[in-house]
Amino acid sequence: MGRDILNMNEYLPLIKGRMGERRYIHSVNVSKSAVELAKLYGADEKKAEIAGVLHDCCKEIPRDEMLQIISDGGIILDIVEQNSSKLWHAIAGSVYIRDKLGIADEDIINAVRYHTTGRAGMSLLEKVIFTADFISAERDYPDVDIMRKKAFEDLDDAMLYALQFTLKNLSERKLPIHSDAVDCYNDILINLKKKET
Ligand code: DGI
Ligand code: FE
Ligand code: FE
């Protein structure tokens, strides 16, 4: 880990000033869940802690600021991304931590960028952050206990469960589904089937 990574007690006040109380609690909880999962599956605990606390760092800034950060970062949104404003905070967050916070670690940057959609070929850290976001302590949805159980038994199985929920929910709401989410679903599914045989 290089000098580009600050201490947690520097990131906490930083994100606290960028979001409301609920989102701050969520961020801290995701960070804690990410460390637990990292311990269990052998990911880098420090990176999990940092990526977890920063993953939603751009969730509550105005939309035009999200778009500005994205374009300043040299990223051109595809047609689905242009029509899915919920995806912007993850992309903007990855640019923000790289260009404004000076985080150079590609794995942390990707864990933030793909925490909402997932993608094919995710690293262990990316999967840890994606899953931690679904099981953080304040989360309360009907299947959260099943999701938590799966998360601590088989990370890919938990990811599949989360993706099933998200993809079903998006199509029911007639919202665009990003190809990264579909690619992630297929990738996880095919790898799980391989593990079974
Ligand atoms: O930021 P959080 O609320 O903690 O969680 P998140 O980053 O997973 O965001 C969840 C939202 O993102 C939820 O409203 C569904 C939406 N989302 C996830 N994948 C896709 C998506 N929206 C669209 N349009 N397309 C996707 O593929
Ligand atoms: Fe998010
Ligand atoms: Fe989140």
Ligand nearest to the CA of 174: 1
Which residue has the least CA distance to atom 25 on ligand 1? 177
- C-alpha 27 to ligand 3 mean position (Å): 7
**Residues in the chain with pLDDT values less than 70:** 1-4, 6
Ligand 1 atom nearest to 90, measured from its CA:
7
Find how far residue 109's CA is from the centre of its chain. Answer: 10
Q: Which two tokens stand for residue 97?
A: 């931590």
Nearest to 124 by CA among 37, 13, 191: 37
- C-alpha 197 to ligand 1 mean position (Å): 32
**What letters, b where the CB count within 10 A reaches 16 and e where it falls short, cover 41-72?**
bebbeebbbbbbbbbbbbbebeeeebbebbee
Neighbours of ion ligand 2 (CB under 5 A): 56
Ligand 1 atom nearest to 59, measured from its CA:
1
- C-alpha 196 to ligand 3 mean position (Å): 31
pTM listed for this prediction: 0.96
| Binding-site residues, ligand 1, Cβ < 6 A | 56, 59, 84, 86-87, 90, 115-117, 133, 166, 170, 175-178, 181
Position 196 scores a pLDDT of 85
Position 3 scores a pLDDT of 53
Which residue has the least CA distance to atom 4 on ligand 1? 133
Residue whose tokens read 């599956």: 41
Residue whose tokens read 């864990």: 111
Ramachandran area for residue 178 (φ above 0: left; ψ -120 to 50: alpha; else beta): beta
What pLDDT, in 10s, does the model give residues 113-166? 999 999 999 999 999 999 999 999 999 999 999 999 999 999 999 999 999 999
- C-alpha 108 to ligand 1 mean position (Å): 19
